[in-house]
Structure formats: structure tokens, C-alpha cells
Amino acid sequence: MLEIKNLCVSIEDKQILKGMNLKINDGEVHALMGPNGSGKSTLSYVLSGKEGYEIVSGSIHYNGRDLLNLDVDERANEGIFLAFQYPMEIPGVQTSFFLKTAINAKRKYQGLDEIDALEFAKLIKSKAGDLDISPEMLKRDLNVNYSGGEKKKQEILQMSLLDPSMAILDETDSGLDIDALRIVSEGVNKLRTPNNAFLVITHYQRLLNYIKPDFVHIIADGKIVKSGDFSLALELEEKGYDEISKSA
Amino acid sequence: MEINKENNHKSVEDISAKTQYIIENQNPFRNFKLENYKYAQLHKKIIPKNSVRDFKYFRDIKDLSLDLSTKSLKSVNLRSTLDNWSFYSNDSYFRVESLIERSGSLIPLDEFEQSIFSLDISKMTENITITKKKEKHQTIILLNTNVEDEVPKSILIDLSDNSNLDIIHYNISNHKSFLYFESKQGNHSKLNFITFQSNNAHTRNEYFASLGSHCHFELSGLNFDNVGVNDNYSFIQHLKPSSSSREVFKSIVDKGAITNFQGKIYVDSIAQKTDGYQMSRSLLLDDISKANNKPELEIYADDVKCSHGSTVSQINKDQIYYFNSRGINKNEAQKILQKAFLSETLENISSVELKDFSLKLLDNLIN
Ligand SMILES: Nc1ncnc2c1ncn2[C@@H]1O[C@H](COP(=O)(O)OP(=O)(O)OP(=O)(O)O)[C@@H](O)[C@H]1O
Ligand SMILES: [Mg+2]
């Protein structure tokens, strides 16, 4: 699915990622944990193709293709999805309109006709219902005056509608209450198939109790310092980043 | 062009003595030279991009056309009307002899049954004075969509107490267009003016609004995709207590076009409890285009609520990125964001059909 090799990335001449290696196979869930400022969001932005990041060296391959050659929208239409740590507010654009536009962009890319109004209404009703998002919410401007948790749910709704093959969740659990955390996790688990993969960025083991990762990686200062299975998350909770990084 | 200086110093009963003193002791031309950027450059020949005259939605609107032939319209003299009204702005470009001396027709709205009708002002050469006395809500569509026409238009609106009117002005596909609009509102009346400007070469529109007590005046403007210079000048005067005004202008400029907005809220010393709001926002799509926004407040009463804001910015790159990250390409994202930016100005069109029409028109012109 995704192979990151020796990736070095800098922002405005400041090096942030310093030789990242990560291989994610179809059907796998990987968790990425690490202290504030270690480069987790930077990695997620680079994967989605955001401007302003200089790839100093290294490579990213996605299903055998050089990901770095694709534009942001192409990557999205090829199945890369990033649930943002800080979702953008879009005043003046109704949420449901945005969702429909995104669905149609993907359909167009796949050579399909636009989704018909009835089909869209049905689809959105069921997906939003699963996440406990009210129809009124969808009539509001996208993310405008949404609470922190509502924004995160909105990201997951978009993910479930776009049905990506490689989803990156950047601290989706931060800001969610206990019930929302469970609902969102169920939403993610429902999407899991042998053909897609997830990279879950989080600070808390709690999320990983719901979304069981196959691998846990610890990133510090721009590179992965330790990888393991779920037990690494437990160990981390106990010992903290400092000790784990040292023992690596 | 000559500015009629006499009109700048009109003495009017409505204005209190304090205000009168201030007017008389100010130099009327204090900023004229410095601000000549804001006047449309009449000598330049620029042709708008394309014609939308055959745009199908306009055919529907033309069907609503007001049949003036059935009425024998009274002729009015604009000068005598204006002399009785109360403006004294230095910034009007239109208070020129040629405009004022032209003959004018009086349209008494109460004599027409329709609640929505259109008036094609493109070919109009006379001045128009519109009067309304009854409460019944009506909507007038002013069509100004003639590429060839360059005659300045003047429209005067006289609303009696309690009357209620919407005006929607489509100012589209003109070489040069000038509109002088002046309204006088009686107590408890409501006037809602929307101006939709696109695909013009040079335009200058002036709005002078005079409010009685407990009145509401609303002015919403959008302009985009113009070439040349687009000017909007407004002067809203609160002369009696407890009236409110709300003004929102949005513009998008690209390819070297210039948009200018200058808007003044004036509150007389007796106009306590005035509630005035003004917002002008411009989006620049490139770095060769210009937006000059100048909000002005002139307040002589102490118990008022007046606010204004003005922004000039570019399309937010992070928002574009957000769209892109959901598979929506840059071009489409930009169009959606432009529409989102402008559509606020169409929000308060009373007629649902006309609101839909206007949103469709916006959609169509942006795509
Ligand atoms: N645009 C930028 N300009 C300069 N420095 C930046 C920029 N964006 C990120 N950085 C820096 O890069 C480093 C990594 O940031 P990043 O957001 O990837 O951290 P993170 O691991 O996601 O942290 P957190 O857990 O707090 O979300 C930080 O030191 C941050 O200050
Ligand atoms: Mg982060």
C-alpha cells in the first residue's frame, strides 16, 4: 500500500523529518505516537501533498506509484485521505454541498456520472446517522462554529463517504468525548477491509483499545525510534516517551 | 465633468442646526484630488468580456416587465425634487446639470397590481421617480444589461410612511454605466436594495439614502468579473431617531481590474438610537488588481450603535488545500469559494424566486 523510505523533509530550511521509514501493507492498521513537535502532522501533510514542504531526500510509493508526483486532489482521488488535526472552517459553503461536491469529484475521476440527488440523500442519511451527526448540522456552513468534537466527527463522515484506501487520522481522538470516541472508532472499524489501510496518529492508548493496531510506531525528532505491536502502546503509557526513546 | 457645487451646500429643514454648521464650515473639495482614483476612467475604451443579454434567465425576468403604456405617466422635474431632498455630499459625480435638467417620469407604484415587476432601464433616457405610499410589499427589478448604452441613469425613490420595497438591480454587461440612485424614506418604511454587478467595463453607482424615524434601509452589493473600474459610492443618512441601516458590499477583482467602494454613514445629532452597520470586503485574485475600500462614519448623536469593517484579501490557500485534500480540484475550489464569498449579499432578497434566480445567475457567471 504505502512505502516511505528514508524521508527527509524541511520547512523553511528547518529540517523536521529526518529519515522516516515506514511500510504499510493492505489491510493493516498502524498507530503513530510521539511527543509534541516530533513531526507526526508534518508527515501527514506530506502524504496528502500540502504545499510548503521541501522533500530533501527519500521517497514515498503508494501502490507502486511515486506519490510525490501527484497533486493533492489526485492523491485524494487515488484514495489517500487525511483526517485533519485541525479541520478548516469554510464559511459560506454548506456542509452537505461540500460533501456532495467531494463525492462527485471522486466519481468524475473514476469516470462515473454525478451521484443522483436521491441516492446522495440516502447515503448521507445513513452515514451521518451512524456517526450521530444531525441533519441540521449538515445544513450549516462547513465546520463553522462546530465544536472541536463535531469537527472531528465531520472528518470521519467525509472519510466514510469517500471510502479511501489509505486513511491517515491525525489526532482524531483529541477533543472527542467518551461516547463520541466510541462512535468514531466504530465508524473506522466498519470501514476496515483487507484492501485498505489506516495510519492512526494519537497520543492516547484509549483510542487504540477501540481501533486495534497491528503495529505501533514511536516517532521522536523526525524519525521512527521504535516499532512494535499493541503492547508498545501500553509500555509507552507506563514509561513515557523519554524512557522509551532512550531504550531504543 | 462638472460637479454642481450649489447642491453641496443645500440648506434643508430636516438637518439640525449643529449639522448645518458643520456642513457650511467644511471645505467641500477637501479630498477630491487625493481620491480621484475612485472615479471610473471615462476616457478609456474598454469592452466587457462577453454579452449575457440572451442569458435565458433574463428572458423570464423580462416577462415580468411593467406595462407602462397603460398609464399616462406624469412628468417631473428632477431639480425641484432634489431641492426638496436633503443631500449635501461632495462626492457625487452625478449631480451634474445635464442629468438634473433632463425630463423625468413619475411611476406611482401603488397603481400597479403586481408584487414583482421589472423595468428595463437600459434604454432609458429620462429620469425616473418612483413613489410608493401603501404598505403592501413590492419588488422592482431594474435591468441594466445593455452593452451599447452609455446614458447615465437617475432613479429617485420616494417611500411614504410604512411602505415596503425591494429593489434588485442587475448591472451586467455594460461598456459604461452610471446610476444615480436617491431614496427618501418616511417613518417606519423599509427599503431593501440589492445591486448585482458583473461583466461590465466601467461602472459607477451612487446611492444616497435618507432615513426617517424607525426606518430600515438595506444595501447589498456584489461585483465580480468586471474589467476597468467599478465604483460604488454610498451615503446613508440617518436624520431622525431609531432608524437602522445595513450595508454589505463584496467584490472580487482580477486581471488588473479596479474596484472602489466608499460608503458613509451619517448620523444627525437628533438621530438618537440609530443602528448602522457597514461592511465592505474585497477579494483579489491576482496581484495586478486593486481594491480601494473606504468606510466613513460621521456621527453627531451620542446614543447610537454604528459599526463598520473593511477587508481586502486573497483566497485562503489553506481552504483551497482543504478542498484539494477531498479530491476537489483547485479551479472548482476557487469557484466555490468565490460564490460562497459573494452569496451573502443575495441572502435577504425577499422573493424566493428572485433569490434563486440571482444565485443561479451568480453560479452561471462564475462558471
Ligand atoms: N510552517 C511551519 N514553519 C515552521 N515550523 C513548523 C511549521 N510547521 C511545523 N513546524 C514545526 O515542525 C515541528 C513538527 O511539527 P508537527 O506539527 O509535525 O508536530 P506533531 O508531531 O504533529 O505535534 P503535536 O503532537 O503537537 O500535534 C514542530 O517543531 C513545529 O513547530
Ligand atoms: Mg500534530
Q: Is B309 helix (H, G, I), strand (E, B) or coil?
A: strand
Q: Which of A41, A45, A93 to mutate to test the interface with B (most CBs of B within 10 A)?
A: A93
pLDDT for residue B345: 95
Cell of B248: 454589505
- For ligand 1, mutation pick of A7, A8, A11 (most atoms within 8 Å of CB): A11
CA–CA gap between residue B300 and residue B264 (Å, rounded): 13
- Residue of minimum CA distance from atom 25 in ligand 1: A36
Window 155-174 of A, Cβ < 8 Å to B: 158, 162
User: Are A105 and B328 within 8 A, CB to CB?
Assistant: yes
Q: Is residue B178 part of a domain?
A: yes
Q: Which residue has the higher pLDDT, B219 or B105?
A: B219
Window 142-181 of B, Cβ < 8 Å to A: none
Cell of B251: 467584490
- Per-residue pLDDT band for B94 (boundaries 50, 70, 90) equals low
CA–CA gap between residue A30 and residue A202 (Å, rounded): 11
* Average pLDDT across chain A, whole number: 94
List, in order of start, the domains of chain A with CATH numbers: 2-247 (3.40.50.300)
Q: Is residue B352 part of a domain?
A: no
> How many domains is chain B partitioned into structurally?
1
Nearest Cα residue to B349 out of B208, B248, B200: B248
User: Do A233 and A208 touch, CB atoms closer than 8 A?
Assistant: yes
Q: Which residue has the higher pLDDT, A11 or B122?
A: A11
pLDDT at A181 over 50: yes
Across A123-152, average pLDDT = 94
pLDDT at B44 over 70: no
Grid cell 421589472 — which residue? B118
CA–CA gap between residue B106 and residue A109 (Å, rounded): 58
Q: Is residue B355 part of a domain?
A: no
How far, in whole angstroms, is CA B328 from its chain's centroid? 35
Please provide the size of chain A in residues: 248
- Per-residue pLDDT band for B84 (boundaries 50, 70, 90) equals low
Grid cell 476612467 — which residue? B41
CA–CA gap between residue B201 and residue B149 (Å, rounded): 12
pLDDT at B272 over 50: yes
Nearest Cα residue to B153 out of B130, B128, B173, B175: B128
- Kindly compute the dihedral angle of the four CA atoms of residues B307, B312, B314, B319, in this order, to the nearest 10 degrees: -10
Nearest Cα residue to A40 out of A241, A243, A247: A241
pLDDT at A135 over 70: yes
pLDDT for residue B3: 34
Write out chain B residues lying below 8 Å of A46, CB-based: none
- Helix orientation angle between A148-162 and A117-130, rounded to the nearest 10 degrees: 130
pLDDT at B236 over 70: yes
- Residue A191 burial (C-beta neighbours within 10 Å; 0-12, 13-18, 19+): middle
Closest alpha carbon within chain B to A48 = B325
Q: Is residue B112 part of a domain?
A: yes
Q: Is residue B30 part of a domain?
A: no
Q: Is residue B25 part of a domain?
A: no
Q: Is the CB of A36 under 6 A from ligand 1?
A: yes
How does pLDDT run across B168-215, given as a tens digit for each residue? 999 988 878 888 898 999 999 999 999 999 988 888 899 999 999 999
How does pLDDT run across A59-80, given as a tens digit for each residue? 999 999 999 999 999 999 999 9
Q: Is residue B154 part of a domain?
A: yes
Window 294-353 of B, Cβ < 8 Å to A: 317-319, 321-330, 332, 336-337, 339-341, 343-344
pLDDT for residue A219: 94
- Per-residue pLDDT band for B227 (boundaries 50, 70, 90) equals confident
Nearest Cα residue to B297 out of B281, B312, B310, B311: B310
Query: What is this structure's pTM?
Result: 0.86
Please provide the size of chain B in residues: 367
Across B14-40, average pLDDT = 45
What is the span of the domain harbouring residue B307?
47-316
pLDDT at B304 over 50: yes
